[in-house]
Amino acid sequence: MRVIRIGNTVITKDPQKKNTFTIKNDMSPQLMQSIGDKAATPFEAVAVLTVRDYLARCHHATELYVALRLVHDLGRQMQALLSAGRGIACFSADDVLVITHRDSDAFTHSDDGALSDPRLDPQFLFLNDRLVFEVDDSDGALLIDRALHAAADAFLSPELAGHKDQAKDQAKVHFKTAYYSAAQLVIHFLLNADVSPETDLNVCLQPIKGTKLYWFLLRCLNPAPSERKYIYI
- Within-domain flag for 50: yes
* Model pLDDT, residue 120: 67
- Within-domain flag for 207: yes
Rounded to two decimals, the pTM is 0.92
- Within-domain flag for 175: yes
Residue of 186, 182, 176 whose CA lies nearest to 228: 176
Residue of 107, 162, 128 whose CA lies nearest to 9: 128
- Within-domain flag for 65: yes
**Number of domains observed in the structure of the chain:** 1
In one letter, which amino acid is 117?
Answer: D
* Model pLDDT, residue 117: 61
Which stretches in the chain have pLDDT values below 70?
1, 104-120, 164-169
Contact 182, 51 (CB under 8 A): no
- Within-domain flag for 206: yes
Q: Which residues pair with 132 in a beta bridge?
A: 88
Q: What angle do CA 68, 72, 74 make, to 5 degrees?
A: 115
Q: What is the arrangement of strands in the sheet containing 43-44, beginning at the earlier edge strand?
A: 3-6, 9-13, 20-24, 43-44
- Within-domain flag for 135: yes
* Model pLDDT, residue 119: 53
CATH (domain of 186): 1.10.510.10
* Model pLDDT, residue 1: 60
- Within-domain flag for 232: no
- Within-domain flag for 233: no
* Model pLDDT, residue 163: 75
User: What Rg do the C-alpha atoms of the chain give, in angstroms?
Assistant: 17
* Model pLDDT, residue 106: 45
Its domain, for residue 203, covers: 3-227
